[in-house]
Structure 1
């Protein structure tokens, strides 16, 4: 039986390990940063849509344009509860694992789709400015015809960037069974939960891969930024979009 490895063998193993580490870890850092920057940009885009899209309905005539596009929308319910743009995080599912959607959840005549809490046919899905792809983690099932097989891959953080986990740290009322979401009103103020409760504290999104992480903070003011290592969300010692 062999007693031990030779010094040369140990040195070869250490050299190979160093080479692997040199190529592996920078790649992890790079993809994590790319994922965080992409998500930060889309959070800011969601807020931009909320600030610039007139979704306030006070009279039935104002709903005609939207209802003509989506016949299933209940115009009277639009007046009672004005919709908001939201970014919803999907943390489970075979095809939606660690992805997100940017959309407006709309009231429908059918009880099964009335404010259903996920992007479905009849909801207003955001379109990316560059490639004109739908910004939805859902690509085929229960989604509008214009978005079927036309979903942006960059909202799929696990599939594109290899993310292993996404965690949310925020107010207790922001927690949902299968994910989380942030709404923005027409003044850019963020809310969470299906009941649209205004944030009392920071909404922190933590992206994780191979033991490393990047965090994004959304403050109660709506200001969103990438958190620098060693800081907390209240420090704001970072850059924003």
Structure 2
């Protein structure tokens, strides 16, 4: 919590509140005879090796909804020798730390833009399908905090732009995106990337094509977000897909 006080002020003024990394302590019982306990202790130590980095902790709530938390072991698992009961079970404690403290929805939501939305088709002798082109979408983030997005542009398009009309933030790519080229942007804090995959499968760092990138990497705010896609040329031929995972402060 960030507070600010002025001379002769009663109390303080709330400036902001930030989350610390999330600490978790999980106790588990290992069952088996002496040989099985030894094997299972080794398995737990191997899986929860701190050198392996971040892993995924999956939790299913009582209502059946599944959540995931990215976390890493804070040291090796601890085994309580005093808890061994007749070589039947042993208590182990796992200490985990989540640098990003927010739980995420396991389901990755996907929203297409600038794509033809199929409506119906007729059984003619040649294939014919009718649809409408959607260059905007309304995304409702019903999580607890803003969530980053992954954007995938598929060319062709000239200087494509994607905008969060609700907040006025936008991302513009100052480049001719060719047919069969794909631009991928990740707006997550600490994982921001801009990559272009060419037709031959090679990739190019696309940071230098971002216009006004100091304000471009927007999140989906809590509530409704109006997202719009446009381009100087080729907007009718390109496709854009936005994917995201909602964030929650607790489950």
Name the TM-score class by shorter chain: under 0.3
More strand by proportion, 1 or 2? Answer: 2
Indicate the structure (1 or 2) with the bigger Cα radius of gyration.
2
The TM-score normalised by the length of structure 1 is: 0.22
Q: RCO higher in 1 or 2 (8 Å CA, sep ≥ 6)?
A: 2
More helix by proportion, 1 or 2? Answer: 1
